[in-house]
Amino acid sequence: MIVGIPKETFHNENRVALVPAGVKELTKAGFSVVVESQAGANAGFPDTAYEEVGAEIVEKRDALYKKAEIVAQVRGLGANPDEGKKDVKLMRKGQINIGFMDPLSSKEAVKTLQGADVTSFAMELVPRITRAQSMDALSSMANLAGYKAVILAADRLPKIFPMMMTAAGTIIAAKVFIVGVGVAGLQAIATARRLGAIVHAYDIRPAVKEQVESLGAKFVEMDLGTAGAEDKGGYAKAMDEEFYEKQRELMTRVVAESDVVITTAAVPGRKAPILVTEEMVKGMQPGSVVVDIAAERGGNCEITEADKVVVKHGVSIIGTTNLPSGMAYNASQTYSKNVTNFLKLLASDGKIEINLEDEILRDSLVTHEGSVANERVKEVHGL
């Protein structure tokens, strides 16, 4: 069972799919690991660190694809639309590809993988069940993104977060408003509270109120009739435009009173809903900051531009995409653990076995034996 770890080719992607500690773990489980030279360099893992734990380093990418039965990456074809096509040309029939694939958004990528007869697993489709927590790469990355969003906001804001008693008087704590209380939102709340800010949070799922309050933040309640706002996987569902319009009306006052707004609302396979309008931004105090974690999916703020800091009406709107890549060392560590656990599930008695009775493997499998194997992907794309 040979696992290949190629160097990531997506623009500004610094993560690596497997760190040296993961190589050690997989070797014990009966795998051999081949790593493309410099694959881990940007994340702080040199080739020598891989060699020390028994990985083979190869200089040429095509050599890696020839050797490996399984290729594990951070970004597969759908999440790396341009450079990913070159990798598919290197793949052979029946080869297994694991990574973020964005299969719910990219029909073309799914069809390409199907046409190449590649068996592909999308890490973002790992079901949110207890048994799969150690493989939940979406949550691993969202956790880091929530932390980083607060750090970016604190750096940009011309105020400090904590209340401070000084000889020159009392400095009032900054007010932070978190929109969307999933994994990223909860980590953003915890980080902002650790820095001493006054934190309010809102989510369309009333059930998260207890989690918000347990972290020392105040839950903003809005009478919107949110029954059915959560899907069976525990994620917020997309609502209709009338719902979002009413939500925006009720949020306007809270946004105006906030020094920092952090938005985290993303729906898998869909454009992110607009939650913060330009009119709301106009009502904020000059110097305020909006950090839009959903920037990669179009953004929750009407003004957001991907990978830019837009200053409008005196407010900075930060649209940094791929926040985990900016913490590549730790992001690679956590993603590597997710991938390692997934591979160990995939292997049984020294051989690869795709057991479709297993909910985790079945739900994350996208293409297999020349067909689209995932019911959710088929439904979304009408396949």
Positions annotated as catalytic residues are 128, 133, 136, 139, 235
Question: Which residue type, as a one-letter code, is found at position 286?
Answer: P
Could you give the C-alpha distances from 302 to 111, 137, 242, 323, in angstroms and in order?
32, 28, 17, 20
**Cα gap 224→247, rounded to integer Å:** 7
Pairing state between β 289-292 and 315-318: parallel
Question: Which residue type, as a one-letter code, is found at position 355?
Answer: N
Q: Would you call 292 helix, strand, or coil by DSSP?
A: strand
Q: How is residue 279 written in tokens? A: 């009119």
The residue whose two tokens read 């990985």 is 55
Q: What is the chain's length? A: 383
Whether 117 contacts 142, CB under 8 Å: no
Question: Which residue type, as a one-letter code, is found at position 196?
Answer: G
**Cα gap 347→259, rounded to integer Å:** 50
Pairing state between β 198-202 and 289-292: unpaired
**Cα gap 104→126, rounded to integer Å:** 13
**Cα gap 351→2, rounded to integer Å:** 10
Give the Cβ contact number of residue 92 at 10 Å. Answer: 12
Helix ranges (H only) for 53-182 are 61-67, 83-90, 107-115, 137-156
Strand partners, 5: 35
Could you give the C-alpha distances from 44 to 36, 73, 332, in angstroms and in order?
15, 17, 9
* DSSP run (H or E) holding 163: none
Strand partners, 122: 99
Question: Which residue type, as a one-letter code, is found at position 291?
Answer: V
**Cα gap 220→179, rounded to integer Å:** 10
Q: How is residue 64 written in tokens? A: 């890696």
